[in-house]
Amino acid sequence: MPDGALGPPSRFRAGLDRLIEGRPEQAVPLLEAALADAEDAPWAGLNLALAYVQLGRIAPALPLLEAAAVALPDHAEVRFHLATVLGLRNETDRAAECYSAALERNPDHLLSLAGLAAIEESAGRHGTAAALVARARRLAPEEPELDIMGGRLALAAGDAATAAADAERALDRRPGHVRAASLLAEALRTRLGADAAAAEIAARAGAEPLRADWPLVAASLDGRAGRLSERVGELRVAVALLPESTDVLAELGKALWEGDQRPEAEAVLRRAIAVRPGDIDLRNWLATLLWRMQRPSEMLTWLDSATADFGAAPTLEVNRALALNALGEQDAAVAAADAAAAMQQTGASALIARMQVLAYHPEQGHAAALLAAGRAIAERLGPPPPRPERDRDPDRRLRVALLSGSFGAHPVGWLTVAGFEALATDPGFELYGYALRPRRDGVNSRFRAVCRHWREAAALSDAAVAGAILEDGCDILIDLGGYGDSGRPYALQRRPAPVVVKWVGSQFATMGLDCIDWMLTDRWETPPGAERFYTERLLRLPDGYVCFSPPPYAPPVAPTPVLARGHVTFGCFNNLAKITPQVLALWARILATLPDARLELRTQTLSEAGTRERVVARCVAAGLPMDRIVLHPGCRHPQLLGAYGDIDIALDPFPYAGGLTVCEALWMGVPVVAMEGDSFSGRHAVSHLSNVGLPDWIATDAETYHDLAVARARDVPALAALRDGLRAQVAASPLCDAPRFGRNLAAALRHAWGAYCRET
Amino acid sequence: MSATHSLQLRLAEDAAAAMRHGRFAEALPMVERLGRLPDPPAGIAALRAQALFGLERLEGAEAAADLAVAAADAVETRQLRARIRLARGDAAGAADDAAAAVMASPGDRAAKGLLGICLLEASRWDEALFFLGDVATDTDPPSVLQLAHAFARSGRFEAADELLAHCTARWPGLPGLAGIRAQAALFAARAADAEAIARAAIAADGPSPALLALLAHAQVAQGRLAEGSATLAAAARLAPEDGYLAHLAAAAAGEAPDAAAVEYVTRVFDGYAPRFETQILSLGYRVPGLILRAVERLFPDVAAGDARLGSVLDLGCGTGLIGVVLDDLLPPREGRTLIGVDLSRRMLEQAAVKRLYTEFRHAELAAVMAADTASYQLITAADVFCYLGRLDPVLALCRARLAPGGVLLFTLERSPGANGEWRLGRTGRFAHSAEYARSALASAGLEIVLWQEESLRLEGPDLVEGWLIGARAATAH
């Protein structure tokens, strides 16, 4: 490196000084200027790249490092930095080449040995990785990171004692090292079992009350055992003991996220990201938190910035797909999911995300495409194991497992709980509940009250969930999660019961999986001939496929508002993912035909300013008259139901129709104009409207949808008369007839069981 | 500020914030750490008690509260311990603490309200009504509801109904209102009303263990045992940690656990203590009289007035009815040994009022006998073994505590079916077969000296049939 002793300090020298002082943001303009003047190149370029990396801006660093590598052909360090950046960008093969190139130039380049070892380890080549780590540890016996790598490899090789010793060495040298604490937790758990490990750590914490490592290890053990609150508490202790550690702070942020303390999680993650902008993981955590908080627009901004800095990565693209979908930008969502799937060569998470967003796509969201998407997942998962063997007595009492993260005030709850209550009165069945997300509300209590056995399974791995269902000897497993947020397709893939049935809970299409035997449905959801779009056998109930529990707090039906206002108000309270450009265009035509009519949209994500702006832009582009459109933010469920008092007619979206939303509108006296599709999700409204005796509200194409909406809006007396009697009509219909539904469900499950008994 | 001091402040603040939001599991690690730091802050025991109480770890919570009161006898710590003691079923202890808090801070409404609740649980109706009436005001709806509850509990049904109607009209959604209305209807023997109220509340808010238990009681009271049984099973599923509900559900379903859960016995008798005597006597309860007759027969010199009865252990003494009937046969108070054992603190309080017993032990009877080293001339167990399934262990313990020539006198309810050793009946009590009782006595090394068929009491319209049994330690032949 040239020294700056000659003449006044150059901009390069000044930039370098700032970098050494740990002020990369001040170094950047100086080094950029130096580079522009070709001053001290390639060193200016190299150091500018390092400054960028420190600021988390990986993308602009890459070309600089590539240029520096060409300019400095014998330099190991440049190749090491290049490898690191490539690794961050998920370009693993190139990263490995660069590490090797660095080691050719300097066989003792410690960090390259470590970097290459990490790549070998994640590729599952543990022997090679261990050899590289051993070489590195000879060079730097005091380096805690190498202790951690060595310990992790030892644990993978079954040597928990060495792993624990390595982790402790690392913690001795670098207090508050989160990964070392996590390794120690895992090693102790493996060696002693969960309870003894926790006792051991509690004893050490008692002996050294000012040391942050023990609460960190305790937090890690809590996390593994699903004790989310205790984990937060331990991490708060660790933060108090080691307030300067960003690692520990970030860990607290993640724990708060998982413990559902959302606003504080957001604040803590933002603080951690400000200190560690180069941590892709933290940004992804924040993005998924924003997803939970129904702020897809801001989530997208974060993901875009992460992608700009780190390049495209499958996780980022998967989350982009979900964010775009939540914003109702289905084209871009499917494109992101496709990109993720193309990048991800192993695992099915990208394909599952693709399936999730595909159902909403205006052109591609049809039954055949969804079947193909489901089959792609099945191929990736491989064949399921054989069914477990059970006593094949067709008439005996059956143990039915219910698997869901949505046992509560959630569409799954409102559409199934009354059915299960009725089923539980049949002595031929006993229900076992496996809850994949902790919930406590009135609907959750109803589920727990009917399940003979209840297990909170959120903390369990897929294998452990499947293991519990298998050990409990369940005969039939009803999945109520599908490919949704808290679904467990990998647990289903283990086939923990001889008969597996898919029901409500991201039930938008076939799952495409060989491990699912039946899909609970009805003749409207899946008319004759629909079989070809399903890998499951269709278990058609004689009425509708769900049993609706009207929320007890639903206010009385209000008079249809057109009577007082003189103009019709349409409404759609579905989430934005369902609102395609075609839907908006059709609504624009309806409003053009009815120049006084209004349209109100209401959903959670409209509370976010950025999302509203995007939706307004899309509405304008679709030709909707904005002076007659109201976008309402989300509100609590009782208020949402009350808001139907302002709506005369609900307009259902397509191709992904409303499900619970249709039932709720009908219960609130609001009839629904809906479009018939060919996928399962495209026919939810068809099922519910037919089931309550309103099949004449179903359109078959855009033309009939338009005409139907217009004709119904113009016949105000008919609208008022229908509304007056609609709640009573729904209440008396099979949609709300739980005893009748329970008998039908029992017969259907008995039929599925009989098929298993007859099978050889 | 020293580093340790600021660390303490931060942890205390974080812990307090977590507890304010009801996140006690999160607070506990911070509280525990505070306690381990050098020079722990003064309020640490109270914080710990609060966290453990929030986590329903009541025993630890009371121990921590004891330390807190010892360290600083403040109004808040007294109130905290009162609430903990209340939750543990120690109404008298809770009332002591609550009273101390009121004395220290006489103008404190909340303190008076808490005292009223403690007195209510201690069945000190008039005092409870005084304090609860004093604090009840329409600006604080729960205080009015609490007063209504107290009226219902103390049998003042008209006043309760009036106040509950007022609550229903003014604050229809008041938390807990439906439960108390249903309970008041049950107390007043209006089971159909209780059922309707419980059902409406369940439909509105979803089921809770308390509402389901009330519904079940209402169903059983109307003679609909099968429905009540299913409802109790649902209640027990919602509260898997509640031994009382588990026992009731098992009893209703006809399943037989080995012994009635300790919690069941405690809850049933704590709930019934004040009315136990009137209720059980009005039910045609004959057992104390039968015991007296048997003692007179088995100890003729005592009956003749030539001797006094030696030391007596009264297992499951309840409100002390055995003491009442044996009083004349025992030496004068200062010279006698009459020990009463019961799981229900409230029962023991009722018994103590009679001033007949020399000692009370508030514990499970097997535990008492296992720890005891004394021997007794008479051990009575009137209507006690019906809360046990398998009798072998308790009989062996009794034999070990009998003095030479000493007698064990106990009642059993007769199992209607001939087969099996015992069964759990719908009332939550066990009935035994004669064959089993005889073999259990024999294997415990006891020989039968008395075996009388008896109608033990009325239950509804039915007589409960059983036996009064006397046994001595078997002697070698």
Give tens-digit pLDDT for B32-76.
999 888 888 778 999 999 999 999 899 999 999 999 999 988 899
Predicted ipTM of the assembly = 0.81
At residue A568, the pLDDT reads 98
CB contact under 8 A, A215 and B237: no
CB contact under 8 A, A552 and B36: no
| Residue B315: strand, helix, or coil | strand
Does A695 reach chain B within 8 Å, measured CB to CB? Answer: no
At residue B253, the pLDDT reads 64
Instruction: Report the pLDDT averaged over residues A267-290.
Output: 90
**Is the per-residue pLDDT at A351 higher than 60?**
yes
Q: Which of B26, B206, B237 sits opposite A442 (nearest CB)?
A: B206
CB contact under 8 A, B240 and A451: no
Write out pLDDT tens, residues B373-395: 999 999 999 988 888 878 888 99
Residue B35, H or E segment: helix B24-36
Share of chain A above pLDDT 90, in %: 84
Residue A29, preceding peptide bond in cis (omega within 30° of 0): no
**A-B C-beta contacts closer than 8 Å:** 80
Write out pLDDT tens, residues A574-608: 999 999 999 999 999 999 999 999 999 999 999 99
SS3 content of chain B, % helix, strand, coil (to 5): 60, 15, 25
At residue B277, the pLDDT reads 45
Write out pLDDT tens, residues B146-188: 999 899 888 788 899 999 999 999 998 888 899 999 988 887 7
Banded pLDDT at B281 (limits 50, 70, 90): very low
Instruction: Report the pLDDT averaged over residues B292-303.
Output: 92
At residue A503, the pLDDT reads 98
Does A210 reach chain B within 8 Å, measured CB to CB? Answer: yes
At residue B275, the pLDDT reads 45
Q: How many CA atoms lie within 13 A of A444 on its CB side?
A: 18
CB contact under 8 A, A452 and B237: yes
CB contact under 8 A, B37 and A450: no
Beta strands in A542-666 (DSSP E): 569-572, 598-602, 629-632, 649-651
Write out pLDDT tens, residues B406-436: 999 999 988 766 556 777 666 667 888 888 8
Q: Please, are residues B443 and B392 in contact by the beta-carbon 8 Å criterion?
A: yes
Q: Please, are residues A474 and A432 in contact by the beta-carbon 8 Å criterion?
A: yes
CB contact under 8 A, B33 and A442: no
Write out pLDDT tens, residues B420-477: 677 766 666 788 888 889 999 999 999 999 999 887 766 655 677 889 999 999 875 4
Q: Label residues B35-62 b or e (16+ Cβ within 10 Å = b).
A: bebeebeebbbbbbbbbbbbeeebeebb
Residue of A nearest to B9 (CA): A240
Share of chain B above pLDDT 70, in %: 88
pTM of the predicted model as reported, rounded to 2 decimal places: 0.80
- For B259, residues 6+ apart whose C-beta sits below 8 A from its C-beta are B387, B388, B389, B390
At residue B351, the pLDDT reads 84
Banded pLDDT at A1 (limits 50, 70, 90): very low
Does B49 reach chain A within 8 Å, measured CB to CB? Answer: no
Instruction: Report the pLDDT averaged over residues A692-708.
Output: 98
CB contact under 8 A, B14 and A205: no
The chain-wide mean pLDDT, for chain A, equals: 94
Share of chain B above pLDDT 90, in %: 47
Does B18 reach chain A within 8 Å, measured CB to CB? Answer: yes
Query: For an interface test with A, which of B4, B10, B26 has the most A Cβ atoms less than 10 Å from its Cβ?
Result: B26
Banded pLDDT at A22 (limits 50, 70, 90): confident
At residue B260, the pLDDT reads 55
Q: Please, are residues A332 and A300 in contact by the beta-carbon 8 Å criterion?
A: no
Does B238 reach chain A within 8 Å, measured CB to CB? Answer: yes
* Contacts B204 to A, Cβ<8 Å: 552-553
Residues in chain A, overall count: 760
* Contacts A425 to B, Cβ<8 Å: 230
Number of other residues whose CB lies within 10 A of the CB of residue B199: 15
CA distance linking residue B26 with residue B55, whole number of Å = 10
At residue A6, the pLDDT reads 44
Instruction: Report the pLDDT averaged over residues B340-347.
Output: 86
Q: How many CA atoms lie within 13 A of B288 on its CB side?
A: 18
Instruction: Report the pLDDT averaged over residues B215-244.
Output: 81
Does A607 reach chain B within 8 Å, measured CB to CB? Answer: no
- Looking at A92-106, A229-243, A339-353, B64-78, which range is the least confident one? A339-353
**Is the per-residue pLDDT at A734 higher than 50?**
yes
CB contact under 8 A, A233 and B18: yes
Does A450 reach chain B within 8 Å, measured CB to CB? Answer: yes
* Contacts B26 to A, Cβ<8 Å: 229-230, 232-233, 236, 259
Name which residue leads in pLDDT, A20 or A502. Answer: A502
CB contact under 8 A, B29 and A236: yes
CA distance linking residue B189 with residue B356, whole number of Å = 34
Interface list for A 523-562 with B (CB within 8 A): 552-553
Name which residue leads in pLDDT, B462 or A40. Answer: A40
Q: Which of A259, A442, A451 sits opposite B205 (nearest CB)?
A: A442
Query: For an interface test with A, which of B237, B241, B255 has the most A Cβ atoms less than 10 Å from its Cβ?
Result: B237
Write out pLDDT tens, residues B259-273: 555 555 555 555 544
